[in-house]
């Protein structure tokens, strides 16, 4: 009863109301102000809170905004009323007036792949930390209509910004063509060789990987690349070639897969009987897995006869047979960073020009000394 019973400037208005959309079924004393969440048959609004606290809705609003200039007595009544009615702000209403929303759209595809799903994971985390949620639309690439439709859908839901993750060229094109009327950010590996800030994967990772192979005596390498339409695949292929050249080694070719183990297997199966390489550098771990199996089925021992490496360091890679030497990539951080960039753009700030993400060489048992050519004894040293 701290609410002075008599004072109710709003009661007049309440009487008028006559047709409340939501019938206050639960309210016993008709016309009275709801005292608890249960008396209200619906979520409480700031006006409900205001009525209970005996203040204007604007005062409640101010409190919610963190405004300091409210007298302690008033403030206390507001606080109590908010609690009693279990008030929760309605973000829809808020974004209608402010034109701002706490949602980010995220376009993605191949969500079952390790990279994209990790990126999404990082992105949702970063979004949540900033108070946003991610509206995810995952596309099956291929059907242009479907892409257009999905984009169209995103434009309706008013979003603070849109993120495209895991970029391949089709996605990028569709994304560019779409008319979002909000900030956008195209995440995923950029085109390192067109950028001033090549990723660490290119600058550090691949050189380290190739150096590792060179140290082991490998001279002739084969690369299994991802699909040419993916910038990540192109980056990796070019990074491979650059590093090979830098070490004075020889690339005996680049074959393309589709990131899957199946495609890695195929790539190896289709090779001539007498491969001219001693090491295979796959563009990701899955293709490396497929390559591993194909090579083994041909009677080659890993790493005694051929060394194999991957990229990504997926959790399973440590348990392949043999465990895979690979390059670690921090996808979660990638997703996180993408969201941060987007948020910065939304706030019209310059994004922190963070360093590119670390890429670490993880040496396991799938790489070993190159077999000695001509000599009777192929390397038998284990590990």
Identify which of 349, 334, 335 has the alpha carbon closest to the alpha carbon of residue 104.
335
**How far apart are CB 291 and a copy of itself at their closest, in Å?**
9
**How far apart are CB 42 and a copy of itself at their closest, in Å?**
9
Residue 11, contacted partner among a copy of itself, DNA, none, CB below 5-8 A by kind: DNA
**How far apart are CB 369 and a copy of itself at their closest, in Å?**
19
What is the Cα–Cα distance from 358 to 356, expressed in whole angstroms? 7
Of 269-308, which residues contact a copy of itself (CB under 8 A)? 286, 289-290, 292-293, 296
Give the x-and-dash track for 249-268 against a copy of itself (CB under 8 A). Answer: -----------xxx-xx---
Full 3-state SS string of 61-91? HHHHHCCCCCCHHHHHHHHHHHHHCCCCCCH
Give the x-and-dash track for 195-214 against a copy of itself (CB under 8 A). Answer: --------------------
Q: Which two tokens stand for residue 194?
A: 């067109």
Residue 264, contacted partner among DNA, a copy of itself, none, CB below 5-8 A by kind: a copy of itself
Q: What Cα–Cα distance (Å) separates residue 380 from each residue in 105, 258, 320, 336, 362?
A: 54, 33, 20, 45, 22
Identify which of 171, 177, 247 has the alpha carbon closest to the alpha carbon of residue 215.
247
| Among residues 207, 227, 323, 358, the one that binds a copy of itself under rule CB under 8 A | 323
Q: Which two tokens stand for residue 271?
A: 């090779």
Residue 222, contacted partner among a copy of itself, DNA, none, CB below 5-8 A by kind: none
| Among residues 14, 208, 318, 357, the one that binds a copy of itself under rule CB under 8 A | 318
Cβ partners under 8 Å of residue 349, min gap 6: none
Is the C-alpha dihedral spanning 283, 287, 288, 294 positive or negative?
negative
Of 118 and 337, the one with the shorter C-beta distance to a copy of itself is: 118
Task: Name beta bridge partners: 162.
Answer: 105, 184
What is the Cα–Cα distance from 237 to 224, expressed in whole angstroms? 8
- Classify 231 as helix, strand or coil: helix
Residues that bind DNA (CB under 7 A): 9-13, 15-17, 19-22, 42-43, 45-47, 50, 54-59, 61-62, 64-65, 68-71, 73-75, 87, 89-90, 93-94, 96-98
Q: Kindly state whether residue 175 participates in binding a copy of itself, applying the rule CB under 8 A.
A: no
Number of Cβ within 10 Å of residue 72's Cβ equals 7
Residue 25, contacted partner among a copy of itself, DNA, none, CB below 5-8 A by kind: none
């Amino acid at each position: 009863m701290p609410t002075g019973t008599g004072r109710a400037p709003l009661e007049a208005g309440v009487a008028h109301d006559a047709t409340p959309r939501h019938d206050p079924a639960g309210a016993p004393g008709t016309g009275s102000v709801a005292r608890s969440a249960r008396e209200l048959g619906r979520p409480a609004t700031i006006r409900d809170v205001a009525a209970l606290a005996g203040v204007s809705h604007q005062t409640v609003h101010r409190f919610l905004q963190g405004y300091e200039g409210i007298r302690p007595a008033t403030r206390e009544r507001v606080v109590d009323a908010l609690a009693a009615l279990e008030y929760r702000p309605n973000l829809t209403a808020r974004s209608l007036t402010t034109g701002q929303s706490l949602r980010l759209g995220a376009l993605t595809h191949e969500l079952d792949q390790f990279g994209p799903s990790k990126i999404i994971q990082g992105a949702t985390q970063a979004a949540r930390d900033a108070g946003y949620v991610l509206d995810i639309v995952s596309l099956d690439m291929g059907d242009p209509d479907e892409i257009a439709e999905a984009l169209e859908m995103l434009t309706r839901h008013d979003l603070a910004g849109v993120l495209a993750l895991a970029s391949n060229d089709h996605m990028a094109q569709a994304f560019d063509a779409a008319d979002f009327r909000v900030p956008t950010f195209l995440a995923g590996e950029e085109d390192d060789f067109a950028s001033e800030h090549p990723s660490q994967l290119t600058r550090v990772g691949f050189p380290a990987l190739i150096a590792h192979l060179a140290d082991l005596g490998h001279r002739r390498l084969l690369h299994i690349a991802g699909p040419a339409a993916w910038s990540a695949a192109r980056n990796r292929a070019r990074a491979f070639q650059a590093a090979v050249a830098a070490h004075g080694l020889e690339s005996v070719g680049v074959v393309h897969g589709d990131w899957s183990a199946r495609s890695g297997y195929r790539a190896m199966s289709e090779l001539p009987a007498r491969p001219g390489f001693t090491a295979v550098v796959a563009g990701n771990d899955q293709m490396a897995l497929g390559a591993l199996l194909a090579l083994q089925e041909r009677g080659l021992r890993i790493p005694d006869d051929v060394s194999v490496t991957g990229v990504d360091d997926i959790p399973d890679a440590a348990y392949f047979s043999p465990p895979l030497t690979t390059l670690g990539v921090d996808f979660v951080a990638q997703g996180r960073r993408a969201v941060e960039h987007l948020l910065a753009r939304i706030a019209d700030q310059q994004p922190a020009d963070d360093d590119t993400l670390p890429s670490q060489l993880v040496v396991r048992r799938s790489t070993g000394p190159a077999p000695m050519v001509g000599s009777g004894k192929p390397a038998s040293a284990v590990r």
